[in-house]
Amino acid sequence: MADLKLSETRDLTRIERIGAHSHIRGLGLDSALEPRAVSEGMVGQTSARKAAGVILQMIKEGRIAGRAVLIAGQPGTGKTAIAMGMAKSLGLETPFAMISASEIFSLEMSKTEALMQSFRKAIGVRIKEETEVIEGEVVEVQIDRPAVAGAALKTGKLTMKTTEMEGVYDLGAKMIESLGKEKVQSGDVIAIDKPSGKVTKLGRSFSRSRDYDAIGPQVRFVQCPDGELQKRKEIVHCVTLHEIDVINSRVDSVASLLSCTSGAVSWVSTVMLTQGFLALFTGDTGEIRAEVREQIDTKVAEWREEGKAEIVPGVLFIDEVHMLDIECFSFLNRALENEMAPIVVVATNRGITTIRGTNYKSPHGIPIDLLDRLLIITTQPYTKDDIGKILDIRCQEEDVEMAEEAKALLTHIGVETSLRYAIHLITAAALACQKRKGKVVENEDITRVYNLFLDVKRSTQYLMEYQEQYMFSEASIGDGDEDGTNAMRS
């Protein structure tokens, strides 16, 4: 059964999924943070990209925390794309958490708990751990075979050397097994992690390179290490505060975390190793008790003081931020004051609107006091040229070959309707093309799908014409603006 599941997973992962933003590979800036016209999947929107680049630089330098940025702009002007670009440009070690504000309203946990979890997913902890390793060139592996099979456990001796010294170590059955697994022989340069006994083959010693007439391309030659055989080495683990929270609430043994003094750091890695990172993704997390978090924060603060850990403030992106209510906004205000807070990037396409949970209106539906804290970046509507280029990139991303004429028509549709609608038509037109056994998407395919699927303007127009036939229709013809969209909203 387990095997079956595994092979199913493999099959599934072979299918490459194309998401709305999969063509975005960064912000497309040069080293001076100047936006390139078309780069890393990004087109136009130069001033917003440049501003995002400055924020990114602040994050990378890691010195500031608790700043908040608002990306405001009309629908489909690339707010989420810019946030994705920021995420892609951050190194793997800087956490990036992304939520849509509506996600925090659930019956399973309170809104503020959901927000708190998102905050802590965006705060990284780089934990440094010292471990002892034995590193050197193997001179000899000598295994004493028991006279009678199975009579006693195998024992043996391992002789290792560096350029300066040589040492002999007694081997137990477990070590013999590890060395056997790695096929360790004399002339190999190996490292043995002392606490776990894990053997890593670093390569073959240069001094042995003449031993062979023919050497396979996979053989790696390394220098015989110098200095002591036994060394202390630093290992770095990167986890988020949320991951530490989850592990602790799972094993429910903060006590074990707290009881570790010198070995506190290795406690994290031991739990990671024994429970595995996968443990983090299974089942519901539920609410995490405040005292668990408090204790973890105290412990992390201690590690920081001892130089064993560093905080890496990441990015928390909250899309559709106008969906948060007044309680959440007040939570955000306070959470941003915390010295470990991540950079919070929020986005909205709303104008002046009601703050959820109140009767008051405010720009973007965000209370003025929070708004005052935000660095505001605006996105601008796209030019025809930009739309054409984005559609071109999307065609490449979706592996769709499109005739120049058809691209021009699609760009025109994008200008008249919306960029999103035009992007959606790419896949549909490619299917229409496939159906007529064509290889290249032509005008006829675009026209076909344009007539099959309505854009917002035509859909509204249709509603205005046939509203009597629909239930509970309240709009009268004169209600709307030119294209009737206001009437639809009302």
Q: Which residues bind ligand ATP (CB under 6 A)?
A: 20-21, 24, 41-45, 73, 75-81, 349, 390, 419-420, 423
- Quote the CA–CA distance of 314 and 65 in Å, as a whole number: 9
Residue nearest to ligand ATP (CB): 78
Residue placing its CB nearer to ligand ATP in the complex, 20 or 173: 20
Q: What is the dihedral of CA 81, 84, 86, 87, to 10 degrees?
A: 180
In sequence order, the β-bridge partners of residue 311 are 125
Residue placing its CB nearer to ligand ATP in the complex, 77 or 118: 77
Tally the residues of the chain. Answer: 490
Least distance (Å) between residue 28 CB and ligand ATP: 8
Least distance (Å) between residue 348 CB and ligand ATP: 7
Least distance (Å) between residue 485 CB and ligand ATP: 14
Residue placing its CB nearer to ligand ATP in the complex, 376 or 477: 376
Residue placing its CB nearer to ligand ATP in the complex, 231 or 420: 420
Q: How many CB atoms lie within 10 A of CB 371?
A: 16
Residue in 381, 380, 375, 350 with CA at minimum distance from that of residue 51: 375
Tokens at residue 2, please?
């387990």
Least distance (Å) between residue 373 CB and ligand ATP: 22
β-strands 96-100, 123-144 pairing:
unpaired
SS3 19: coil
Residue placing its CB nearer to ligand ATP in the complex, 22 or 270: 22
Residue placing its CB nearer to ligand ATP in the complex, 45 or 205: 45
β-strands 123-144, 42-43 pairing:
unpaired
Q: Look at the block and give the residue holding tokens 């915390």.
A: 338
- Tell me the HSE value of 52 on the side-chain side, using a 13 A CA sphere: 35
Least distance (Å) between residue 49 CB and ligand ATP: 7
Residue placing its CB nearer to ligand ATP in the complex, 21 or 293: 21
**Who's near 100: CB < 8 A, 6+ residues apart?**
318, 319, 320, 323
Least distance (Å) between residue 78 CB and ligand ATP: 3
Q: Look at the block and give the residue holding tokens 């703050």.
A: 355
Least distance (Å) between residue 349 CB and ligand ATP: 3
